[in-house]
Structures are given as C-alpha cells and as structure tokens.
Amino acid sequence: MSGSVGRPVSRVDGRAKVTGAARYAAEFAPADVLHVALVGSTVPKGRIAAFDTRAAQKAEGVRAVITHLNAPRLPYRPFEERPEVDPSVGEPLRVLQGPEIHFSGQPIAAVVADTLAQARHAAALVRVTYDAQVATTTFDGERGRAPKAEGGETRRGAAVQALGKAPVTVDAVYVHPREHHNAMEPHATVALWEDGHLTLWDKTQWVNNDAAEIAHVFGIPEDHVRVICPYVGGAFGSALRTWPHVTIAALAARLVGQPVRLELTRRELYTSVGFRPHTEQRVALGARRDGRLTALIHEATAQTSAYEEHTEETLAPARVTYACPNVLTRYRLVEMDVNTPTSMRAPGVATGLFALECAMDELAVALDMDPLELRLANYAERNEEDDLPWSSKELRACYRMAAERFGWSRRAPAPRSMRDGAWLVGYGMASAVYPAYRSEACASATVFADGTALVRSAASDMGPGTYTAMTQVAADALELPLDRVRFELGDTALPRAPVHGGSITMASVGTAVQAACEAVRAKLGAGRSYPDALREHGVDHMEATAEVEPGDESKKFSSWAFGALFAEVRVDADLGMVRVARIVGAYDVGRVINPTTARSQCLGGMVGGLGMALLEQADWDPRFGRVMNANFAEYLVPVNADVRTLEVLFVPGDDRRFNPLGAKGLAEIGLCGVAPAIANAVYHATGRRIRTLPITLEALLA
C-alpha cells in the first residue's frame, strides 16, 4: 500500500501554478481570437427605447456591435427540471433577446473587436435611451413573502407558546449585508465554433452543467458542447451557475465566425454574477434557568431578484444544532430589481449561524452562564428535525480540543474585564455545522505497462486541492506510489462529475475514483505487478470506469460536519479599532484525506469569516440600484496585516456510514461559525452588542 491518504502531501499541481504552466480560462487562445466587451444598463428597471451604436461601429478594430435588435433569437429550450445550481422558480435572464431591463448593470449590448482595449473603448461609445420605470431598490422586510418553491415554514412543538412561558428569553434582530465573492480570478469565457460544435474554455465549478445550459440556450445537442476548465482561481460559489456572459461569448463567436474571449471586469463581477443576499433575521430563544432550551424561533427575510427566486438554507442550523422540543422557523423573500443572488461559501448556513450563535451568546449573558457550558447543556444527541441518529458526531471533542488549545478557562466572564494596556481584550466562541452531501459521480482509471496510472473525472478544482486528494485516493486504491499516478479533471470529455460545491466533491468523486481504481485492479487480477498482468492479457494498458451514487444512508442517518470556533479580539478603548488576535478552530469532518490542504481550507475560511465579521459589505445606493464600492479598493477584504494567529485542529474521524471513503466534506464548514465567534468576542471586550455586520469602529463608538 502507498499509504498516501491521511498524509500531508504537497499539492501535485503546485509546480504548474507557481511556474505559470497552469492555464486558466482567459489564457486559452485559439488562433485569430477576438475580444468582447459588455455594455451594461445604467437604470435598474425599464425598457430600452433606442440604441445609438454609430460611433462604436466606426471605432478602430470593431467587428460587431450586438444588441437585442440584431442578435439572433435563441431557443432557450426549457429544462424538464432546472439544474440544482439554478433557482427552481423563475426564468434565467434571456440575454440580448429583448428590451426589458431587470437590474442596473444588466448586459444589454456587446462589442467584438480585434483587441480588448478596442472592444472596451467602443463599448463606452454606445449610447442608450431608456424608458425608465420605478424600481424596487430598497430592502423592506415588511414586503417579505413565503418562497413559491416551498412553504418557507417548519414547526416542531409549540415554540410561540413555549417562548411565552420561558423564565429566561432573548429576542433580537441580526442583519447580514450583501457580500460579493471577489475571487482572485475574474470570470472569463473563450468560445470557438467548429462545424456546429462549440468549445468553451470557461471559469466554472461544473463543466457538465455549463454544457447542458448552453446546449439548452442554443437548442443543440449537449454532446455538441465541450467545456474545458482545468484550473479555477477561486470562485466560492460564483462559478456554480452558467451566467449570461457565457451565452454572450458563444453568441458573439457564432455571429462573427471567429473565436472570441470575454473577460468580465472587476466592476462587472458585481452585476454579471450573483452575490450573498442581504438577510435580516430574528432569533428568539427561551430557556430554563439551568440553560436548557425550551423554545427556539428563527425567522429570516432575504433579498432575491424579481425574475428568479433564490433561496438558501439559512434556517437549517436552527433546526438541528441544539436539542430543543419547540422550534419554529420561517423564511421569507423580498423581491428587488437586482440581479439574482447565488450561493457563496456556506450559503445560508453561515448567515444563519451568525444570528443563532450570537443569540446563544446573548442567552448565556442573560443566564450568567459560560457560553461553552450553555452549548454543552443543549447538545443534540440526534437530529431532532429528521428524527435520525447522526452518521457520526464529534462536536463535544471539538469543543474540548479547541477550548483547551485556546485557553478558554482563562476567560474572565464580565464584559470589559480583560485588558492589555490600551486594548480591551475579548474572548468569544461559536458552534459550526454544515450538512454533508453526496451525489452521483463517475471516474475512469487506466494502468499502463510502465507501471503508471491515469485517473479521470470531469470534476473541478477551485483551490481545495482536488488534484492532490484524488491522486492520493487513487494511489492507495491502486497500491502505487503517488508520483506514478496522474489525475485529470475539468473537461466534459471526461467521465461526468457533480457540481464542485457544497463540500460534496470528496464524498462523491473521491468514492468514484476509489471504485474505478478497484475495478481496474479486479480486471487485471491480484498478486502480480501491473506490467506483468498487462503482458499476460496481451495489452499495453487496461481501463475501467465506475459510476457511484448515494444509497439509502440518508434515510437511516443524518450526516453533518461539525466544528467549534474560539476567537480573541483586541479593541482600542478610545478609537474602537478591532483586531483579531487569534482564532482556534476544531473540526469533525470525518476522514481527513490530506491534512495540509484541509488545514489550508480552514485557514481560508477563518480569513473569510474575519472579513465577514469586520470588513465586507456592498455599499448599496438605492437611487441607482447599484453597488458603489464595486472594486478591490473600496470593497474591503482581509489582507495580511489583518490576519494574526490561526490554528486548525481536526478531531479523528471516519464516517463510513456516510460514504466508503469516510470523508464528510470540508470547504464550507471552514467559514461557518467564525463571524459569530468574533462578534461575541467583541461584545465580551466592549460590552457593546453589535447585531449588524460588519462590525465597524463607527458602530462601536456610536
């Protein structure tokens, strides 16, 4: 056995990335490639009355100016069932197909030119006259309605009545702002038509869905579309859907008869792809004086677009994290004239945990009880929502391990009681949960006479280390050294894979990889080297393909990842500046395939949670229906100076009830619980409870 799984292996694709050999979507350059620039709407709602494209058409290098007036009508063939990454209610934006304006920044024209500079210059010359209409650009929770896709409400027991009888209660509203993904790599698509077949080099987290979506838009067979994406420079959910710019690239390439490249600008990322929606939440908790919960009410109202219904699992943590006999959750949507929100790392769950875990901290204060002890007193021994046992759960061990490492026992209970010179010191903690998902997946494995192996699946790698982890799984299953195995991904020509999101890749694709490798070994027989076995079969290679799918485990067990986060903050007593001195997180994620890449995922989640707590928000101007800080200069994200000591601990685990590999998924849980741990630490340091993110010095000094 190679024993690769469980080892802290360096990234097998690391050299390609640091030397520039790794090619991202915008770096693919077919011969004679042209460039596309977009023209966006400057009003949030209305109709286009007229275009003046004369100056743009006369500009140097321009090959075409495309609007709804001259664009071909596209079939937009409907799906029998919308892809899981798309909202199930509503219709996607039918780009360049009509004069209707749904949001500010909506792509309404495209310019094709010889160079990118020429295309963008000409796009700036396009003049548009609008019949503007009154737009809904202000979030008003009173207008919230239940989702059409589902009832939006769950009940267990009688929460309202139990809250009224509870001796100790907390009832508060928490606000989570609109946030944007801001991955390092902007979205880009290169499109090439050849004999009725389309090749797309696209930044995407799901090549198979890209092919399916574009095939439906253009009314062509899915096997006529090939999508290639070997590397993704970060996405965090922004590349789950097939956004309108992909359609525009394909449309432009067909119209001009040459390949084209469309790269979104940093500003266009705030309107051309989705975002984490603005969400307002009410959490009401009732408890006995010993801390046991008797009532839990969690209500969330989130924004969506007027043309699609984006919903999230914001209330899932309230239903499963703690033991409570009486639970009511209610989800509402507010339609606005904005582009459709989308999944952003730990979608919904991270948002819901911010409110739930801050409310639990407030309850601990009301009870004069240690926040950790309160959570232990309400430990859920099973999933009370589904009435199922956990497939595995080591959250108690997470609490213990992280608390010991952090030094939680040194925490003085009273707010503003800990100080270091001019700095107020605060300790805060929070629980983390995220559901473990698994999906159908396919992989192939080929062994060669030289003793090497090639393993393939149309999976994705946006940074968590898919190349490396899959190579480790394959090496162990084939009993080969790691350097004798190569893994390929990111191409619809490879065996189908599910979406690279929701932390499902290892449980799904990893299981398929293991199965394919075991299948090819079975073909060759045991007890001989691969070269000897192949010679005996009279071939120079042998291949096997495996398709795997979930069984009935979800009917028997509830599978979740768990974690415990502890944060130390320093707050300047006079200026209100907040610095996060330390974060310690302990995680139960089942079997850890690669401790190095797993730790990296959690570190990234901690940094993202720091940004969520203290920095990130879209500055929204309702007059224009636009994000005003749509750039890296003014949309604040953590930088090196903001990040101090981060520690990641893993509780030993192996959840074979969930899947044959025993891994539960990791990327999403890394973000969960970080923001509320920091917010609770800020309260402990200052005595000020800030319920609206981000926590700014203005809020602390108000």
Burial class (CB in 10 A: 0-12, 13-18, 19+), 358: buried
Tokens of 405: 């490492």
16: CB partners within 8 A, 6+ apart = 22
For residue 238, name the pLDDT band (cuts at 50, 70, 90): very high
Phi, psi of 370 (to 5 degrees): -65, 130
Other Cβ atoms within 10 Å of 634 Cβ, number = 10
- Average pLDDT taken over every residue of the chain: 97
DSSP string, 257-316: TS-EEEE--TTTHHHHS--BPPEEEEEEEEE-TTS-EEEEEEEEEEEEESSB-----TTH
The per-residue pLDDT for range 193-221, each reduced to its tens digit, is 999 999 999 999 999 999 999 999 999 99
Tokens of 20: 């520039």
Q: Measure the CA–CA gap between 204 and 490, rounded to whole angstroms.
A: 9
pLDDT at 81: 85
Tokens of 597: 């890449």
- How many Cα atoms within 13 Å fall on the side-chain side of residue 440? 4
Angle at Cα 282 formed by Cα 277 and Cα 288, nearest 5°?
145
The per-residue pLDDT for range 360-398, each reduced to its tens digit, is 999 999 999 999 999 999 999 999 999 999 999 999 999
Cβ pair 118, 61 in contact under 8 A: yes
Q: Is the torsion defined by CA of 68, 73, 74, 79 positive or negative?
A: positive
Q: Is 199 helix (H, G, I), strand (E, B) or coil?
A: strand
Cβ pair 370, 528 in contact under 8 A: no
Element (H, E) at 674: helix 674-686
With a cut of 80, say whether residue 308 has pLDDT above it. yes
The per-residue pLDDT for range 10-36, each reduced to its tens digit, is 999 999 999 999 999 999 999 999 999
Phi, psi of 100 (to 5 degrees): -70, 140
Cα separations in angstroms, 305 against 102, 137, 147, 329 = 8, 10, 12, 23
Task: Report the residue count for the chain.
Answer: 702
With a cut of 70, say whether residue 675 has pLDDT above it. yes
| Residue written as token pair 């069984």 | 551
In Å, the largest CA–CA distance within the chain is: 80
DSSP string, 361-372: HHHHHHHT--HH
The per-residue pLDDT for range 174-183, each reduced to its tens digit, is 999 999 999 9
Q: Is 321 helix (H, G, I), strand (E, B) or coil?
A: coil
Q: Measure the CA–CA gap between 316 and 622, rounded to whole angstroms.
A: 31
Secondary structure letter of residue 229 according to DSSP:
-
pLDDT, average across residues 313-338 = 98
pLDDT at 2: 64
The per-residue pLDDT for range 428-472, each reduced to its tens digit, is 999 999 999 999 999 999 999 999 999 999 999 999 999 999 999
- Crossing angle of helices 511-524/530-537, nearest 10°? 60
Phi, psi of 401 (to 5 degrees): -65, -45
Where do the H-state alpha helices sit in 525-634?
530-537, 553-556, 595-614
Q: Is the pTM of this model over 0.75?
A: yes
Q: Measure the CA–CA gap between 183 and 273, rounded to whole angstroms.
A: 12
pLDDT at 599: 98
Long-range contacts of the stretch 361-364 (C-beta < 8 A, 24+):
361/428, 361/430, 361/676, 361/679, 361/680, 361/683, 362/170, 362/172, 362/285, 362/689, 363/168, 363/170, 363/285, 363/287, 363/291, 364/291
pLDDT, average across residues 675-686 = 98
E strands along 114-204, which residues?
Answer: 127-132, 153-156, 168-176, 188-194, 197-202
Which residue in the list 185, 357, 668, 698 is annotated as catalytic? 668
With a cut of 50, say whether residue 1 has pLDDT above it. no
pLDDT at 80: 85
The per-residue pLDDT for range 517-535, each reduced to its tens digit, is 999 999 998 778 999 999 9
The per-residue pLDDT for range 310-321, each reduced to its tens digit, is 999 999 999 999
With a cut of 80, say whether residue 151 has pLDDT above it. no
Q: Is 331 helix (H, G, I), strand (E, B) or coil?
A: strand
DSSP string, 475-512: HHHHT--GGGEEEE-SBTTSPP---S-TT-HIIIIIHH
Q: CA 679 from chain center: how many Å?
A: 22
Burial class (CB in 10 A: 0-12, 13-18, 19+), 577: middle
With a cut of 60, say whether residue 493 has pLDDT above it. yes
Cβ pair 671, 608 in contact under 8 A: yes
Tokens of 335: 């339609």
Burial class (CB in 10 A: 0-12, 13-18, 19+), 213: buried
Is there a catalytic annotation at residue 668? yes
| Residue written as token pair 């009273």 | 414
Q: Measure the CA–CA gap between 472 and 3, rounded to whole angstroms.
A: 8
Cβ pair 317, 353 in contact under 8 A: yes
pLDDT at 97: 98
User: What's the CA dihedral at 353, 354, 355, 358 to 10 degrees?
Assistant: 110
Residues paired with 566 in a beta bridge: 429, 584
pLDDT at 105: 98
Q: Measure the CA–CA gap between 35 and 123, rounded to whole angstroms.
A: 12
For residue 423, name the pLDDT band (cuts at 50, 70, 90): very high
Secondary structure letter of residue 98 according to DSSP:
S
Cβ pair 461, 14 in contact under 8 A: no
Q: Measure the CA–CA gap between 358 and 128, rounded to whole angstroms.
A: 47
Q: All domains of the chain, ordered by start, with CATH?
A: 32-134+184-234+239-272 (3.30.365.10), 279-437+555-701 (3.30.365.10), 439-549 (3.30.365.10)
Residue of 337, 331, 321 whose CA lies nearest to 381:
321
Burial class (CB in 10 A: 0-12, 13-18, 19+), 650: buried
Q: What proportion of the chain, given as a percentage, has pLDDT over 70?
A: 100
423-435 and 419-420 beta bridge pairing? antiparallel
Residue of 237, 228, 231 whose CA lies nearest to 269:
237
Element (H, E) at 248: helix 244-256
